[in-house]
Amino acid sequence: MTEINSFAELHRVLPQIETMKTDIEKRRAWRSHAISQDLRDQIATPFQNIDPASDTYKERMMEMFSMLRKKDYSFDDEGGSVGNVENYLANPIPYRFGDPALIGEFLMSYGHIIKVIGDHTRNLGRMPRVLELGCGQGALSHFLTRSHLDVTCLDISASMTEITRGATRQAHKAPQVVTASFEGFEPDGQYDVVLFYESFHHCLNNNAMVAKYRDALAHGGMLIFAAEPIVPTVSPFVPYPWGLRLDMVSLRAIVLKGWLELGFQRPYFLQMLKRHGLAVEELNVQGIHRCAIVVATRA
């Protein structure tokens, strides 16, 4: 394992890895590097003894983002263009990864989510309304919209929502596809399910987003947080209640892409949901991170 001991070294190593030709080479390089404990402590120390729900905590986290990124955070970086849409539709996620085990893990996670939704909404007597926040390239949307669900798909990127429209052409019921931020979107009525799949970790205002989308739930509706980076209390990758993840894949996204890649320690995350009056249940498949689900139900 090669340790990285400074911001300067991190800013030198990440672009070097990015020049590698294949994703397999890049993944191998990311796994062989890690930031040192000293650098990890340097990043984590400013957040000690600060209320993680406070504005001060959030402001310091964004100052740390700017140090890593070498520029301030911008929504525009999250919603960048992806180029040729048809190329993405011809070779969609997860098949694009070319790794049968990884493809299987993604497909298992999609099935697990749909099963949880189906079990929860079985007795509604109508098609369940589902709001998918952060649909990305529509990989999960493709399956949701063919599963007898009334789906609204939302993403901040116009390119992503264009891909999602293509990915859901064969939907049982055509979805509503919306280009908007989580903060800017105004829910249309109430939903039986509000779903974050690998997307809540982009929410800087995490408390506010829980409150907003709890209020968008119908009576008995549920928030689903699926495949989110929720870690044990002691974790080298999230050494504070919540904040920027410090694994190499996340640091690459922060430094080179400008994406907000957050993680949450489990006690903080679950307590945050309970503070908003939600009943919390964890529905995991042992050994498969993408099948880790937290369900928060509105009474």
The answer to whether position 88 is within a domain reads: yes
Residue 262 lies in a domain: yes
67 inside domain: no
pLDDT of residue 260: 95
Query: What confidence tier does 138 reach under pLDDT thresholds 50, 70, 90?
Result: very high
Q: Is residue 253 part of a domain?
A: yes
Residue 167 lies in a domain: yes
Residue 5 forms part of a structural domain:
no
**At 114, which CATH number?**
3.40.50.150
Q: Encode pLDDT of 112-127 as tens digits.
A: 999 999 999 999 999 9
Domain ranges, residue 285 = 74-298
* Average pLDDT of the residues of the chain: 94
Question: In the chain, how many domains are there?
Answer: 1
3-state secondary structure the chain: CEEECCHHHHHHHHHHHHCCCCHHHHHHHHHCEEECHHHHHHHHHHHCCCCCCCHHHHHHHHHHHHHHHCCCCCHHHHCCCCCCHHHHHHCCCCHHHCCHHHHHHHHHHHHHHHHHHHHHHCCCCCCCEEEEECCCCCHHHHHHCCCCCEEEEEECCHHHHHHHHHHCCCCCCCCEEEECCCCCCCCCCCEEEEEEECCHHHCCCHHHHHHHHHCCEEEEEEEEEECCCEECCCCCCCCCCEEECCCHHHHHHHHHHCCCCEEEEHHHHHHHHHHCCEEEEEECCCCCHHHCEEEEEEC
- Whether residue 149 has pLDDT greater than 80: yes
45 within some domain = no
Domain contains 134 = yes
pLDDT above 90 covers what percent of the chain? Answer: 85
